[in-house]
Chain A
Amino acid sequence: MKRRNLLAGAAMGMALAMAGGAFAQGMDKVKACFIYVGPIGDGGWTFQHHQGTLAVQEAFGDKVETQYQESVPEGADAERVLTQMALGGCNIIFATSFGYMDQVNAIAAKFPDVKFEHATGFKRDSANVSTYNARFYEGRAVEGLIAGRMTKSNKIGYIASFPIPEVIMGINAYYLAAKKVNPDVEVTVVWAFTWFDPAKEADAAKALIDQGIDFIASHTDSTAPLAEAAKTNGAVLGFGQASDMAEYKPSPRVTSIIDNWGPYYIKRVGALLDGTYEQVDAWEGIAGGEVLIGEITEAVPAEVKAEAEAMRDAIAAGTFHPFTGPINKQDGSAWLAEGQTAPDGDLLGMGFYVEGVKGDIPQ
């Protein structure tokens, strides 16, 4: 124990010494640390962050040392882990869940020489805190297009987790893209009030299927909705969420939204190494490679597949924005005028359904 403390102290001393003047011209070696909210084995959110960690290690080899801790609860425990990591010589710490927001900002104020990166948050109280997120709604639009084109019952479903802008944005993007190609389409939203509860997610999928819905998108973390759809022998289709979920190819999983954190992690650690690191508020999407659209399988007709890929490429090229006016809010009031695209601020604070979505958002 003593030796470890000694080592930690020595490492910290080194880090401080290097921080003294080394940042401007970069560093020789970076220790990158990650805290995960769930187990790596969740098959979704945390699994994908861990893939990013592995990508960093592979990209920089000897020049980077990575360290991670799984299943860190949001709250006081996170503060303890963050402190340990900062004392343990980490140069940059990635906190990969929204709920770490206050802890990250509290600890960052105490360790001005350590860089903190907080996923999906919006607070950057000190200069060493950056935030990053991904434009998942772009992927939702591609899913909506496929669902709108292929649905036979004209009823598509969405298993929502919590009523936060991130999720509402996804529902709206999914519905708008579907309605554009199929004016008769209706979306049904079921709120599961959980990120991860496989049994409940399966029940939610079943409830949707019982209502005659034949396309299910989910905003929860497990593969349970796909497993439930698989029981219908191809009558009900769905999408991989967060991770590719390739084991459900070619159906019911017809495509997927993959969270690809690797490029961002590599960019940030690389910037620290070569001295170009700056505080950012990053929100990349398909164009930046943070959101990947998984392989569209043969269960999708060729022309629909081509259309979906064209949409993906148009989003990547910046020629198409999933929220392009005219769009009204659910109550009929105008939101976006003809040709206007949604400002990021509107999206990040989104608390309303667009016109045509039925039901209320739980408060």
Chain B
Amino acid sequence: MEIGGINLVVLVASLMVAAVPILLAAIGELVVERSGVLNLGVEGMMIIGAIGGFIAAVTTGSPVLGFLGGALAGAALSAVFALLTLVFLANQVATGLALTLFGLGVSSLAGQGYNGIKPPHTGDVPLGPLADLPVLGPILFAHDWVVYFSIAMVAATWWVLKATRIGLVLRAVGESHEAAHALGYKVNRIRLLAILFGGAMAGMGGAYISLVRVPQWVDGITAGAGWIALAIVVFASWKPWRALIGAYLFGGISQLQLNLQAAGSVIPVEYLSMAPYLVTILVLVIMSSGRGRAGLNAPAALGQNFHASR
């Protein structure tokens, strides 16, 4: 399984890990956008989750509580967004951007004194002899629990959106909040829950960076992962499984370009670095060329505030 000096099994196994933060954040944002809310504060919620999770894990000594802390911190920040956009009807784009800047600042403040500390270790799930299987072992059975959790969340989100009443209501709110309101659904309450879910998922994604990927706290640790997650939602045309593919593609190509360099590839670095973005543009062009806007599948009420008095 060696191609050009790169071990494919190792590559696939490491891209699955590399993609976890953006996958979690993208799934959260996907649900938020499906409910008709555009929250551009993913980066801010991720970094708040990264420091929140780090502090929780270091103080309690438990990585699981760390992830919980990260989710809570992300959800708390998203509650600010919900207050501003749902109650005070602030512009969603501006509020989301402000949320990112606010999150970066607050995380830096909260992180004072946490530099250079090692968080408790998150181990691989012990799956016994399964992990020793050739090829499949390292790819499928030698990861920490968050990797499995992220995939399970994709499946759960897909199922809920597609096959349950909750999913139908959520999509109705995102497509036409006026109609959903006329039918008696609490538009803002549903959106609030979606926003909190999105915040929690972004927070967990951030916590994965500070607790597993990098294991430490430094200012600005997420370094733009939230923006990639936002791009993946569009790339996935708001469909959960496509978000998984998108996240793995991004994670995979960023891993591959470093691996190719390490393996002494002749392809110039610059082409490899731009590859993920080129693929995104290509996919967007292909998708939107066929069936027009419907092909893109964007929720019709995306980015519009709702007030019952209208």
Q: Which A residues contact B (CB, under 8 angstroms)?
A: 38-39, 41-43, 47, 157, 188-194, 196-204, 206-208, 210-211, 213, 222-224, 227, 245, 247, 358-360, 362
Contact = CB atoms under 8 A, between A and B. Distances in A.
A41 B108 contact: yes
B40 to A, nearest CB: 20
B255 A42 contact: no
B115 A202 contact: no
Given A38-B219, A43-B116, A211-B5, A199 B225 contact: yes
A190 B261 contact: yes
Contacts, number: 107
Contacts of A247: 116-118
Contact of A199 (B5, B14, B223): B223
Interface in B239-297: 254-255, 258-259, 261-264, 268-270, 273
B216 A227 contact: yes
A47 B115 CA distance: 11
A210 B256 CA distance: 12
A69 to B, nearest CB: 14
Interchain residue pairs A-B with the least CB separation, the first 5: A207-B258, A197-B223, A39-B219, A198-B214, A211-B262
A213 B225 contact: no
A59 B223 CA distance: 37
B264 A188 contact: yes
- Binding site secondary structure of chain A: mixed
Nearest to B268: A362
B116 A223 contact: yes
A159 to B, nearest CB: 9
Contact of A203 (B10, B218, B255, B269): B255
Contacts of B14: 203, 206, 210
B209 interface: yes
6 contacts: A191-B261, A207-B258, A207-B261, A210-B6, A211-B259, A362-B270
Given A39-B108, A198-B223, A200-B254, A207 B262 contact: yes
A206 B117 CA distance: 21
Contacts of A208: 262
A41 B270 contact: no
Given A189-B261, A206-B14, A42 B219 contact: yes
Contact of A222 (B218, B222, B273): B218
A223 B119 CA distance: 14
Nearest to A157: B262
Given A199-B18, A202-B214, A203-B258, 14 more contacts: A43-B115, A188-B264, A189-B261, A198-B218, A198-B223, A200-B254, A202-B213, A203-B14, A210-B14, A224-B214, A247-B117, A247-B118, A360-B268, A362-B268
Contacts of B62: none
Given A38-B219, A193-B273, A362-B270, A188 B115 contact: no
B23 to A, nearest CB: 14
Nearest to B105: A71
Among B108, B216, B224, B264, chain A packs the most CB atoms within 10 A around the CB of B216
Contacts of A210: 6-7, 10-11, 14, 259, 262
Contacts of B11: 210
A190 B262 contact: yes
Nearest to B117: A247
Contact of B219 (A41, A157, A201, A211): A41
A207 B209 CA distance: 17
A43 B259 contact: no
